Amino acid sequence: MAGSKRSIEDTPIVLVGAGNLATHLGKALYRKGFRIVQVYSRTEEAARTLAQEVEADYTTGLDALATDARLYIVALKDEALLQLLPTLVNGREQALWVHTAGSVPMTVWQGRVEHYGVFYPMQTFSKQREVDFRDIPVFVEASGAEEEAFLMKLGHTLSQRVSVATSEQRKSLHLAAVFACNFTNHMYALADKLLQRYGLTFDAMLPLIDETARKVHTLSPTAAQTGPAVRYDRQVMQAHLDLLADDPGMQHLYRLISESIHHE
C-alpha cells in the first residue's frame, strides 16, 4: 500500500485533473514537501500550468499516464471520473486510488483496484483565490484500515479538521454544501443583478454578507434568521414582489424562499 514503509511525503503522487480543486490541493501538497511526479489534464495549458507550480511532469494523454506512482488523486468532474476510470486504473491496479468527489460513492473503485478511497476537501475553490488548507474540513473514506490510516495522515499534514465519513454521509455533506455555498452565491448574483438595475453596486452588500456569515459562528442558522419572511410581514413582501413584476422567475423564487423561511 502507498507509503506504508516510507515517509508519507516521499509517496510519488499523480494528480489526475488540473481544475480548481486539483490546483489548490496540488499546491498545498507541494508546499508540504510531497512529491508530485505528474499532472494529467485533457487541456495542455491547465496541465502545464499546474505542473510548473508543483515541479512535475505533465501529460494530456491517458496512454502516457505514469504507471509507477503509489498514489493517484483523481479530481475530475463526476461524469469524466466515471467515464475514464477503467482506462485510468489499467496497469496501475496496485496503487492507492482516491477521488475527491462529494457525490460519487467509494464503490466506483470496487473490483477495479485493490487499494482505494476518497479524499474530499469540502470547500469552494477558485484558481484566482488562495485558500488556507489548515481550516478546510477534509473527509476520508477507505477500502481498509491501512488505507484509512494513510489518508488520515495525509489529511492531517494539510488540515486541522480531518474526519472519516461514509459515502452516504458525504452525499449529505455535498448536498448541504450546495445549499450553503452554491445557492447562496447565486443569491448574491441575483442581488447584484437587481442592484445594477437601479444604478447601485454590489459592494453595498458586503458588510451585510460578512455579518450574516459571522453570526452563524455563534448562533444557529435558524436563530440568526431575520427579515420580512421570518416575521411574515405581508406588506413588505408584497412591495418586494411588486418590484419584481417584470421578472417572474425572481418573483417565484422570492415566494418559495419566503414560504420556506416562514415555515422553518
Domains and CATH numbers, the chain: 8-165 (3.40.50.720), 171-263 (1.10.1040.20)
Distance CA 145, CA 164 (A): 11
Instruction: At 50, list the grid cell.
Output: 499546474
> Mean pLDDT of all residues in the chain?
95
Per-residue pLDDT, 170: 96
Please give the pLDDT value at position 35. 95
Cell matching residue 257: 424562499
Low-confidence ranges of the chain (pLDDT < 50): 2-4
Compute the Cα dihedral for 20, 21, 26, 32 and give only its sign. Answer: positive
Query: What is the per-residue pLDDT for 5?
Result: 54
What's the pLDDT score for residue 9? 86
65 neighbors 97 (Cβ within 8 angstroms): no
pLDDT of residue 264: 80
pLDDT at 4: 47
For position 188, what pLDDT does the model report?
98
Encode pLDDT of 188-205 as tens digits.
999 999 999 999 999 999
User: What is the model's pLDDT at position 251?
Assistant: 97
Task: Using alpha carbons, list the distances in angstroms from residue 187 to 180, 202, 213, 220, 250.
Answer: 11, 12, 14, 20, 10
**Which residue type sits at 60?**
T
Cβ-count burial 131-169 (b if 16+ within 10 Å, e if not): eebeebbbbbbbbeeebeebbeebbeebbebbeebebee
Specify the pLDDT at position 7: 82
CA distance 119 to 139: 6
Cα–Cα distance for residue pair 155/158, rounded to 1 Å? 5
pLDDT at 60: 97
| Tens digit of each residue's pLDDT (9 = 90 or more) over 137-186 | 999 999 999 999 999 999 999 999 999 999 999 999 999 999 999 999 99
